[in-house]
Each structure stands twice: as C-alpha cells, then as structure tokens.
Amino acid sequence: MDLFNYQRRTSSEVNIGAAPMGSPHPIRIQSMTNTSTLDTEASAAQAQRIAEAGGEYVRLTTQGVREAENLRHINGALRRQQVMVPLVADVHFNPKVAEVAALYAEKVRINPGNYVDPVRTFKEMTYTDEEYAQEVEKIRERFIPFLEICKANRTAIRIGVNHGSLSDRIMSRYGDTPEGIVESCMEFLRICVAQGFTDVVVSIKASNTVVMVRAVRLLAQVMEQEGMSFPLHLGVTEAGDGEDGRIKSALGIGALLADGLGDTIRVSLSEEPEVEIPVARRIVDYIGERADHPFIYGEVAEEFNYLAPERRKTQAVRNIGGGQPPVVIAERMNGSLEYDANFKPDYIYCGRTLHEHRIPDTDYIVDIEKWAGQPGTFPVFKYNQVKLIDQFPEGLKFLFMPLQGFTEEVADVLRRNPDVVLISQSSHPNRLGEQRALAHLLMKGELANPVVYFQLYREEDVELFQLKAAIDMGALLFDGLCDGIFLINMGKISHEAQDATAFNILQGTRTRISKTEYISCPGCGRTLFSLQPTIARVKAATSHLKGLKIGIMGCIVNGPGEMADADYGYVGAGRGKISLYKQKECVARNIPEEEAVERLIELMKEHGDYREVEE
C-alpha cells in the first residue's frame, strides 16, 4: 500500500441482488431501518425512502424467526413498487434466524461475537487450548449449514464484528484489542474459504475511532497474508447525532477510504435513516476527487508502524508538541472577536494586521513583515523566508511549509532552530498524501520540530466543511503525526463553527477532550425507547460535564460492550424501561423511562461526577 498516493484496494466481487460489490464497482452506500420488521408497510416505506435518497442496500433487524420470515413480505412489497434495492437481514444470537433470513434477503449479516459463542458476561474467563479448539469447532458445525443455505439461495453474507460484542472466548485469548477483533472475524472467514463460499463482505466496527481504524487496517493486512480479498464494509458504530456523528464518522470512514480501504459505507447517525445517505454520499464523493491525482513522491520512515502508530516524537515548543494535546490555531484576519468559550483557540492567526482589540488571554500569530515583538504574539515565516529565521532570537516561531518547499537548506535551519513549529500546507488533490510525506521526511531527517496541519476550504455549507476537514485530518491524527490543527474556510461559515469543527475533530480522535462525549446508537427495530428525544433529554442534562463519556443505547446487543470505556450508560431494557450502567456494570435495572434521566444524574452525583450548570 502507498501511504502517499491514493489507490483503491483490489477486492473480490460479491453478488448482492442487483447491486454487486467490490473494487470493480463503485463504493456502495447503505442504511438501516428503525421500524419493526414485523410491520411490513412501515418497513417497506422506510426502505423506499432510503433507496430514493440514494441508498444502495437497506438493512433490517431480525431478532427472531417471525421477523426473518416477514422479510419475504417486505421484499415483495418493494418489488411491486419497482424498488429493487437489496435487503440485508441483521442477525444476532440466533443461527436459526440467519438460516431463515437467507431465504428472503439478498444478504445476511451475522456477528461472530454472538453467533455461536455464549452471551458476553464481561467476566475474566480462561480456556485451555483444547477447550478453545472445541469452541471453534462448534462454530464450524453451526456455520457450515448456514453457508449451504446461502449457496443454494445465492445469498451473500456479511461477517460483521462489533468491538462491543467480542465473545468472552476471544477476550480470554486476545483481550480487548484490534488483534482480538480481527481474529474473531478471521475464524469465520477461514471457514468460508474452506467451504468455497466467496460472496462474503467483512466489517469491523467500533464507537472508538482509533480502535476501528487500527482494526480495519490490521484486518486488511491479515486477509492479504492469507490470500483473501473480501470487500470491506466501513462504519463507526454509535457515532451519535448532529455534527458529532458526522465528524466522528468522517474521521474513521474517511481515514480508511483515503488509504483505499472500503467498498461500502454506512454513516450511523442517531437520526432518521434516510438522513444518513447524503452524508455518506458526500464522504465517498470527496474521496473520489483524489483518484488519478498527480504522483506524490514520499518515503516511509523506518520507525513508522502503520498498523499500530505511535505519536511522532517532537520537542515541546511552549504548549505545542512534546506529547502535549494538539493545539488549535484559528484565523481572525478581519479582527473579529467572535469565539465560543467552550472552543477557544490556542492561537489566532491575524496575518499582517494585529488589531488593537484581541480575544482575551489568547496568543496571536503575525506575519514576519509586520511582527514587532509585541507581548503575546509570535512571528510566522513563509517557506521562501526561511533564511531569515536564524536572525531572530530563541522562542516560538512558525513556518508555513509545503512539501515542495522542503529542501536540505530548510532542514539545516530546522536543526539549528528546534523552536520552529511547521505549519504544513498543501493544495494537492490528495493533500493527505503530501502532508504525510512531509511528516515522514522530518522523521527520516531526525527533525523533532512539531507540525501543525493547515487546511484551507471554500465552502458555503457547514456540513460539507466539517466532513472534508475531518476526512483530511483523520489519518494524520490516527498516524500520530499531528501537533496541531489550523482550519480556514473562505466561505460563509462563522468563525465559531470553524473553531468548533477543529475541537470536535480532536475530540473524535480522542486526542484532546473539550466536552462531553456521547456514544449513541442510530436506532433500529430493536430500539426499546424513542431514541432522538431521549438523546436530547440526556444531552440537555449533562452536556456541561466536560470530559465524561456517556453511552445512550437502544438495546443490549452492543450497548454494554460499546460503552465499555464510557463512564455511564443509559440502555433500553424493555418497552419503557431503562437500565443504567457505571462503566461495564449494570447498577440499576428496569427504571421507568420517565424517571431514567433523573436517576442517571443521581448516579453521577453518587460518584462525584456531576456539577450544576454554572450561571
């Protein structure tokens, strides 16, 4: 794989109804209904809305045999309306349901974590090698008959691993690691290969974008080592709603698509399913713009590990680099004093004019031509002014640096001036490739200067700006190359929105926490309460609690697992009933829904994690 030049991974073709998948075909877009699969009319109507929005597959939950059998009626209702979108059955816990669903759906998703293995208990368990092998043999015995049904009915399958539902058996051997996630998937893929079954799609999902990206990267490598090229389904599960869900999804999905990994995507938003489709389309289209781009020359630094990257070692210059959280630089060349106290930039770039009135307690960056050493200001040089740097005293300085401007002369200046922070810039169609190449040049030259990434856009639409910025920054952050982020948009998007996007990108990669994080599912037919109003109520009561992670889950399939690193969890336990979690432990069961938010706050108070809103 070329880290610097975009090329889509070659994957095998999988037949899924009228929309085959794989690298010979476009990257497919999909969503999932949140209706009851027993309600034929509602499910067919929502599937049609998803298809009309541009969705190329529609997934439906099938909790039991009755739901699986009703896929026949939903499928028929759609075909009578000339809606040919393939249907995907989503199965957990019950192999029999998968076997029935294979008769009526074009694809069936199964979860290795709960297909045969017992329900996860989150307890420490040990397996001898013999016991472990016996459990794997049970999978073969139960899985092969399902494959035979799929062969006979030309039904594709998705091996869909969720980080939150790894079995106790996998956890006992591999722990909560990308290696365990991948092995959970590979156990099933090896059986498919041995049985000559090739209509297989693979997915690895997590609510933690770092885990998701690392696991998918590893899966692609392990599959290649074992001679497999199955298509990849990408998604950040429980991404949330609003800008948080969009940015988080674009970070994880975009970082992988940018490296050529991915054949279908689903953006999991806690909103109506058809709303997901245009967001996914924008992500795919933006990645597509870098196809056949001009070649970027780059060499991978020896110390860089793509599968498990560590933060690039840099020298701290003030609050930048040296392992400190990435900083945020923002632009205010017009002298604007607008800012949100929750997303206050660390530095303000003002160009050539340092206005009299400034944002309080914030440092400013001034072009070297107009910098006069004013307190709280720091100079910035263009790359063709690099010779001037030696003339200035020790202290924080910035240098705009495109890849093409980096020469041995620049490297020598940086060696003499470790207090220079580079601002990496690129106008290349694949700006990620150029900015990665510059970081690797620094590593190869043993230069420890911090790097801030400058991204310039000209968008009028806030969502498109957020998606593009998240896609461009994702891999740089996951690769550990980023000491700061500097976003500028030349369109009609407020400074506050630009600042918030930068901080939300850092939050989405868990490199800098600036607010409460919500891990909320998109909802499906299993959801046991009204999801969107509930999320709004929980956010209204807790959004001021900076640094807490709160899970809001419609049911227990992935809830407790995906919330494993959350501080608190709010999970549907039955119609109108909620269970509350403190980390992995269920501490209150079957609370009436109307009392649950208040009880959640009480639980936070018991553990000293709640404070009242400051007036």
Picking from 181, 205, 19, 48, the residue whose alpha carbon sits closest to that of residue 107 is 19
Q: Are 270 and 241 spatial neighbours (Cβ–Cβ below 8 Å)?
A: yes
Percent of the chain beyond pLDDT 90? Answer: 75
Say how far apart CA 367 and CA 354 lie, in whole Å.
9
Contact criterion met (CB below 8 Å) for 471 and 258: yes
Distance CA 75, CA 449 (A): 59
- Quick one: which H or E segment has residue 38? none
Give 455's DSSP letter: E
**Backbone angles phi and psi of 313, in degrees to 5:** -75, 120
- At residue 124, does pLDDT exceed 70? no
Distance from C-alpha of 310 to C-alpha of 440, rounded to nearest angstrom: 13
Segment 439-488, tens digit of pLDDT: 999 999 999 999 999 999 999 999 999 999 999 999 999 999 999 999 99
Residue 15 CA to residue 284 CA, distance in Å, equals 21
> If pLDDT is split at 50, 70 and 90, which confidence band does 182 have?
very high
Q: Which residue has the tokens 């604007």?
A: 336
Who wins on pLDDT, 105 or 168?
A: 105
The answer to whether the 327-508 and 517-606 domains have the same CATH topology is no
Question: What pLDDT does residue 573 have?
Answer: 77
What integer is the mean pLDDT of 410-422? 97
Going from N- to C-terminal start, the domains of the chain cover 28-288, 327-508, 517-606
Task: Evaluate if residue 32 carries a pLDDT over 80.
Answer: yes
User: pLDDT category, 552, cuts 50, 70, 90?
Assistant: confident
CA 276 distance to own-chain centroid: 14
Q: How many CB atoms lie within 10 A of CB 398?
A: 26
The yes-or-no verdict on residue 528 having pLDDT over 80 is no
Residue type at 11? S
pLDDT tens-place string over residues 554-609 = 766 655 666 667 889 888 877 888 889 888 788 898 898 888 899 999 999 999 99
28-288: CATH topology is TIM Barrel (3.20.20)
Which pair of structure tokens corresponds to residue 161? Answer: 């691993």
For residues 514 and 500, what is the distance between their CA atoms, to the nearest angstrom?
A: 10
The 10s digit of each residue's pLDDT in 73-102 is: 999 999 999 999 999 999 988 999 999 999
Residue range 260-287: average pLDDT? 95
> What is the pLDDT, as a whole number, of residue 560?
61
At the topology level, CATH places domain 327-508 in TIM Barrel (3.20.20)
Question: Which of the following CATH numbers is that of domain 517-606: 3.30.565.10, 3.40.50.2000, 3.30.413.10, 3.30.9.10?
Answer: 3.30.413.10
Angle between helices 65-80 and 40-52 (to 10 degrees): 50
Q: Which of 174-178, 337-341, 423-427 has the highest mean pLDDT?
A: 423-427
Determine the angle formed by the axes of helices 593-606 and 531-542, rounding to 10 degrees. 30
User: The tokens of 507 are what?
Assistant: 């939050």
Backbone conformation region of residue 394, classed left if phi is above 0, alpha if psi is from -120 to 50, else beta: beta
Please state the rounded mean pLDDT for residues 298-305: 97
Cβ atoms < 10 Å from Cβ of 384: 9
Give me the pLDDT at residue 549, please: 87
Q: According to the model, what pLDDT value does residue 566 have?
A: 81
Q: Is the pLDDT confidence value at 510 over 90?
A: yes
Distances (CA, A) of 43 to 60, 64, 72, 239: 8, 16, 12, 23
84, containing H or E segment: none
- Give the separation between CA 165 and CA 584, rounded to whole angstroms: 12
pLDDT of res. 239: 65
Q: Quote the percentage of the chain above a pLDDT of 70.
A: 95
pLDDT interval class at 523 (50, 70, 90): low
Question: What is the distance, to the nearest Å, from the Cα of residue 170 to the centroid of all Cα atoms in its chain?
Answer: 23
The model's confidence at residue 118, banded by pLDDT at 50, 70 and 90, is low
Pairing outcome for strands 577-582 and 585-592: antiparallel
Q: Give a three-class secondary structure readout of 412-442.
A: HHHHHCCCEEEEEECCCCCHHHHHHHHHHHH
